[in-house]
Structure 1
């Protein structure tokens, strides 16, 4: 059994609950710009004091509407500034926040409202208000009303502020200070990739401890000299945790509700730090390669990319030499590498950084494992990526690379006050300030924790001697073939998914004599790929409403075959896919195969394509 603890102390004294993070910032830096808010084509700055005033106004309205301490309020909206206002206003009024993904179906909304016994709703647009209203009606819940972030006569946030005009500041202060670190701050439903979503109870102490731990570990990254853009869903705990950290430490925040607008907005916003998913980084890498191809510089780009990887590898070795137990002067890169890197920095890397706004100090990648080679290349291009690992149940990151000590292929070391343990069967167990006390329903807590209080993540991994965690798969995804071979499919799947044409890859073979693969295409990437090659008949690819469609195009088959062969080359024969199918499916939440955070619902997906899987074992599909 392996175990590593970060002994750095997290001091939560002086913070009675999560609202103190804002109150302390208002008292110390009232005029600091906390947010950039979209205002037509421009961005309007909002100070910490102005944000606090808006929070107070909405909090008073909630009290006037009848919200009682401990009442639960649903938030259903895309990522936007008003979400931040509503989140804090609910806490200032003494309530508990229940975030609902804006893409949720009517049935899902109704189920969440009933399960959490929600009393009031705040929606982003008219459609969200309608979904919440119908959800309350479906569950027969007594409600205090549903309010809109968008303008809506008689029922928007401005009307809520007017409703609370007679509520005194002292009443809000009494409500705000009522909660302790042990009280519930929010109830967040897990994504449900392998089972039904569970209601995770996250306390004020979880948020406060997480914010202070991450802020202490990343002072070079999160500070009042920088700014960021949040485009991940605020219904997800990662984006909310990031927002709290930035607000507490004075990092300026801009929100974007449409992830497709991010790249075009970066030159104007010029962030110093971004939280992204590996998929975003894969698309940035692919776009840079395509731009080089269009300028007939494809071969030179490949050399530039290899040079970037080599420089990234050197940089990590240099960091290890400087920070290691026998640390000394930083070694210098070989002359040839320095010359090549300088040339390609001028030709390619600088332009890549400019695409990200030109000021990025660090990216943080989460939600899935990042391909080590892509991490090394970005480091070599002057865009270091801090990879982290966390779950809803850990209130966002439980591990992460330290700036200046990135180790590609791992997800970093425990944050201050956290412990990571590897059980005898390889499962990752965690304990620390951000680890939640349990699920809302006691039945879900059975087997969720070890007898000594470690949360069982259901992920598989290992620790090195310095505490860096490497993830190797999911406990429930392990495949046992008919020959008794146990295989974790994560390495093959991540290798295939590193190609931007691929949205998801699944290795199958439970109880079968060998393994086969399912390759689920990314429709947008395929259209871009086809357009660049002048292939018109792939531009109209339409996924089926249910299930998945096999794609039998020779041009795509050739492209994906190369990806699968490269993935197979990393593994032993018994861990390789013999045959594979190229598939297209609806990758919106409505399609039923992905979660709101775009993670694959593995069991649901494979059940829906059982006939295709069976066909692979009868010679159908493509040979790998």
Structure 2
């Protein structure tokens, strides 16, 4: 059993609740812009100062008091990532209430379950659709007293309702909020079974944020510039909440982009121009594929490929230098990198807004190759690690000793241990208070003060943590081989045509995979292919070429594992896994059990479709080369 911990960070002890940071910032830096939202101006953004945010929070808090809210009441927030979410959450914390985030795309059944399980007295929705969803279940929720709609002017109406409530009432309630009071009930992603509500305290949510601010905030922007972040991932997930709190508590200018479309994000990046990026692996992978597609459309695909490889080689050499394992990039590599800096890299950074210097990926593992690419082009993007039950952050890359392919070292004050079976155990101030209404599940997760994360990983000789998968996702083939799907899936997604991948194989003779294609890159790829041959045999040529490309992706993934762990059969699906068909969680995680059920017929056909060399049952030894099956 390996155990790693760093000394606690030098951070001021928390004496109150999360809302205090809004009030303290307004006192210290009243004119500092802290929030931004879309506006009809030349720059496209309206900045809001610390004092203006404080006043909005106070006015809203007074309205909540007038509406009958009191400490301990739970209020659900069911909206996209928008300005009002930040204001509403801090107003609720100011009166001692607890927030219950719900993703706005949640089904009626999911909404009813969370509202009932959390015993919510009110819910904030975004639009008429949200009102209709809650309206269909509210008769079965006797405790639910209020439904506030943001697009119908809920903030304005509540502020008017609370106009006669004295400011001192808000101050009195805010000052009795204790650090160990519950601040939020955040539900797990529900990748298998019903989501469970994790009770997170003000201290638990604040600790990883304040630790990151103490050790890393000075790297989040060029010298002399205020750090800025574009928030677009759902605040209904703990990752989004942590980003929001880091910004509010650290005086980082945070813009809100509710639209998750590629066009909206591209526009937000180039107009708001954040200095720090964050996202999940699929976001950074998609950006990379967009870079490649744009280069190929401009006739510079080969140039981009050479530049990308140089970026990775340069970053790998720099990594060896900072870890004391080499002298760094040689003269030839430095010259190549300098050439591509002038011709390629600065244009890539311009597409990200031109000011980003660093970034963090979370939610699942970002491949080492992708980390090295971004570092090589001048935007240091590396993995961190956390989960809902730990209020977000557990690890971070140590400055000056970053190691791609790992999630870094434990945050100061947090302990990480890897059990004999490979499960990651965590202990520290951010560990949750328990699952509401489920003492048995809480006892199972908290073992002697250690949180059993359910993740599988390893600690290297220097204490860096690598995540290899989820304990419950481990595949056991009929031959008894245990296979972690995550590393194979990461390598599959590196190929520009691959959008998603799910590795399967429980009780099967070999490992298989379900693959979806990136629609934008597929359209581009087909257009390029059409220019390279005759029209008469176009369809057959496309089919054969696509088979070859996916076969290359599978071969590349298989090169990282043993033969027994490699993918032997796969199927390419026409439709992606998404939230609409219930195969993705709101935090963009795969619902593996649901995917296997949804595609049961395709999976069965995939394993049966391979020609048999002889009659009788098929043995694992019969599966030699990968066999592709296109739907």
Who is 2:537 aligned against? none
Corresponding residue of 2:461:
465
SS at match of 1:511: coil
Q: Which residue of 2 aligns with 1:28?
A: 28
CA distance in 2, matches of 1:403, 1:80: 31
Offset of 1:368 from its aligned partner? 1.3
TM-score relative to the length of structure 1: 0.92
Distance change (3 Å), C-alpha of 1:15 and 1:584? farther
Q: CA deviation at 1:556?
A: 3.1
Determine the structure 1 residue equivalent to 2:289: 286
Task: Determine which of 412, 420, 423 is the counterpart of 1:424.
Answer: 420
Query: Given that residues 227 and 271 in structure 1 are in contact (C-alpha distance below 8 angstroms), is that contact kept between their aligned partners in structure 2?
Result: yes
Q: What is the CA-CA distance between 1:525 and the residue it aligns to? A: 4.2
Question: Residue 540 of structure 1 corresponds to which residue in structure 2?
Answer: none
Partner of 1:220: 218
Change (3 A) 1:531 1:190: farther
Q: CA deviation at 1:458?
A: 0.8
Q: What residue number does 1:547 align with? A: none
- Residue equivalent to 1:39: 39
Aligned to 2:388: 392
1:72, 1:98 within 8 Å by CA — same for their partners in 2? yes
CA distance in structure 2 between the partners assigned to 1:557 and 1:257 by the alignment: 37
Residues 506 and 518 of structure 1 are in contact (CA less than 8 Å); yes or no, is this contact kept in structure 2? yes
Alignment of 1:298-309 (within 5 A): 298-309=301-312
Q: Which residue of 2 aligns with 1:178?
A: 176
Q: Partners in 2 of 1:95 and 1:585 — Cα distance?
A: 42
Residue pair 2:317, 2:328 contacting (<8 A) in 1 also: no
**Maintained 8 Å contact 1:220/1:403:** no
1:8 aligns with 2:8: yes
Kindly tell me: are residues 186 and 377 of structure 1, through their superposed partners in 2, closer, same or farther at Cα, counting changes over 3 Å?
same
Instruction: Kindly report which structure 2 residues correspond to 1:526-605, keeping only aligned pairs within 5 A, or say none.
Output: 526-531=522-527, 533-534=529-530, 553-585=543-575, 587-605=577-595
Alignment of 1:265 onto 2:265 = no
Change (3 A) 1:140 1:375: closer
Please point out which of 425, 443, 446 is paired with 1:449.
Answer: 446
Displacement after TM superposition at 1:524 (Å): 4.5
* 1:196 aligned to which of 194, 197, 215: 194
How far the C-alpha of 1:553 sits from its partner, in A, is: 4.3
Cα gap change, 1:46/1:569 in structure 2, threshold over 3 Å: closer, same or farther? same
Moved more, 165-174 or 126-135: 126-135
1:508 Cα deviation (Å)? 2.0
CA contact under 8 A between 2:19 and 2:91: conserved in structure 1?
no
- Aligned pairs for 1:326-345 (under 5 A) are 331=327, 333-345=329-341
Cα distance between partner residues in 2 of 1:529 and 1:363: 29
Deviation at 1:93, TM superposition (A): 1.9
C-alpha change, 1:63 and 1:620, in structure 2 (3 Å) is farther
Greater shift, 208-217 or 93-102, is seen at 208-217
Query: Using the alignment, how far apart are the partners of 1:410 and 1:194 within structure 2?
Result: 26
User: CA 1:292–1:503 in structure 2 vs 1: closer, same or farther (change >3 Å)?
Assistant: closer
Counterparts of 1:282 and 1:531, CA distance in 2: 21
Aligned residues: 596
Deviation, structure 1 residue 586: 5.1
CA distance in 1, matches of 2:519, 2:95: 44
Deviation at 1:31, TM superposition (A): 1.3
Q: 3-state SS of the aligned residue for 2:152?
A: coil
What does 1:151-162 align with in structure 2 at a 5 Å threshold?
Answer: 151-152=152-153, 156-162=154-160
- Of 392-401 and 507-516, more deviation after overlay is shown by 507-516
Q: 2:127 — aligned with what?
A: 125
CA distance in 1, matches of 2:348, 2:31: 34
How far residue 10 of structure 1 moved from its aligned partner, in angstroms, is: 5.3
CA-based RMSD: 2.0
What is the CA–CA distance in structure 2 between the aligned matches of 1:105 and 1:19, rounded to whole Å?
A: 31
In structure 2, the partner of 1:379 is 375
1:372-427 CA distance string (max 9 Å, x none): 11111111111111310111111111111133322111011111211110000000
Deviation at 1:144, TM superposition (A): 2.9
Match of 1:72 in 2: 74
3-state secondary structure, aligned to 1:291 = helix
Question: Structure 2: where are the runs of 5+ without partners?
Answer: 532-541, 612-625
2:218 aligns to what SS in structure 1?
coil
After TM superposition, the structure 1 = structure 2 runs for residues 485-564 of structure 1, keeping only pairs within 5 Å, are 485-531=481-527, 533-534=529-530, 553-564=543-554
Give yes or no for contact 1:222–1:249 (8 Å, CA) kept in 2.
Answer: no
Q: Hey, what's the Cα distance between the residues in 2 that align with 1:579 and 1:109?
A: 38
1:335 positional shift: 1.2
Q: Give 5+ residue unaligned stretches, structure 1.
A: 325-329, 536-551
1:265 and 1:43 map into 2 onto residues whose CA distance is 9
Residue 428 of structure 1 and its aligned partner are, at CA, apart by 0.7
Specify whether residues 130 and 403 from structure 1 end up closer, same or farther in structure 2 by C-alpha distance, changes over 3 A only. farther
Query: More deviation in 458-467 or 289-298?
Result: 289-298
Alpha-carbon spacing, 1:345–1:63, altered in 2? closer, same or farther (3 Å): same
Q: CA deviation at 1:500?
A: 3.9
Seen in structure 2, the aligned counterparts of structure 1 residues 109 and 374 have a Cα distance that, compared at 3 Å, is same
Mapped to 1, the partners of 2:338 and 2:177 lie a distance apart of 55
Deviation at 1:332, TM superposition (A): 5.4
SS in 2 for 1:36: strand
- Looking at structure 2, the residues matched to 578 and 498 of structure 1 have their Cα atoms a distance apart, in angstroms, of 19
TM-score, normalised to structure 2's length? 0.91
Moved more, 296-305 or 570-579: 296-305
Are the equivalent residues in 1 in contact too, given 2:382–2:397 (CA < 8 A)? yes
The structural deviation recorded for 1:133 is 3.3
> Equivalent residue of 1:561, what SS?
helix
